[in-house]
Amino acid sequence: MELRARITTAMKQAMRDKAVDRLSTVRLINAAIKDRDIAVRAEGNDDGVGDAEVLAILGKMVKQRRESAKIYEEGGRLDLAERELSEIEVIEEFLPKKLSDDEVQAAVDAAVAEVGADSIRDMGRVMAVLKGKYTGQMDFAAVGPMVKTRLSAS
């Protein structure tokens, strides 16, 4: 649970630094993780969520904020859009480094080979492998069409 420790440390540091906006965002992260912990405990898992699930939560938070920022910009509320973008920066500090286009292509090729995919019907299995290994490291909305193109060419 190294990721949780980093988040807790960041929250304590934000309190010491009196960084109100950063503290608010880190608290939102913590609350989202705890909400998911509660849901998982209700299902019988007393350990809570692991790092992979925390990464998925963080990825979802970034996606939500990107969508909100876009809507705010379209509505002329640049102040709110800037706040969403600053929250994204804080959240992304806890996500692993994004893969380059070449690394993404190599990961797609490796996942196709691992699954033994030879048609578009195998796309779900390939995406499941990618999500299992690269959560937070790639944009799956952009990877989906790449996988589809790769499997269509097969």
**How many angstroms separate the CA atoms of 142 and 59, rounded?**
14
Which of 92, 116, 139 is the last residue before a domain boundary? 92
CATH number at residue 118: 1.10.10.410
Q: What percent of the chain has pLDDT over 70?
A: 99
Q: Is the pLDDT of residue 91 over 90?
A: yes
- Domain span at residue 64 reads 2-92
The whole-number pLDDT of residue 83 equals 95
Same domain, 79 and 15: yes
Q: Is the pLDDT of residue 108 over 60?
A: yes
CATH number at residue 25: 1.10.1510.10
How sure is the predictor about 154, in pLDDT bands with cuts at 50, 70 and 90?
A: low
Same domain, 105 and 69: no
The whole-number pLDDT of residue 85 equals 94
The whole-number pLDDT of residue 87 equals 95
Same domain, 7 and 80: yes
Same domain, 108 and 88: no
- Contact between 90 and 22 (Cβ < 8 Å): yes
Q: Is the pLDDT of residue 1 over 60?
A: no
Same domain, 136 and 71: no
What's the average model confidence in pLDDT over 10-29? Answer: 94
Number of structural domains (the chain) is 2
How sure is the predictor about 123, in pLDDT bands with cuts at 50, 70 and 90?
A: confident
Same domain, 13 and 80: yes
**How many angstroms separate the CA atoms of 1 and 55, rounded?**
11
What's the average model confidence in pLDDT over 1-28? Answer: 92
Same domain, 136 and 76: no
- pLDDT of 45-89, one tens digit each? 777 788 878 888 998 999 899 999 999 999 999 999 999 999 999
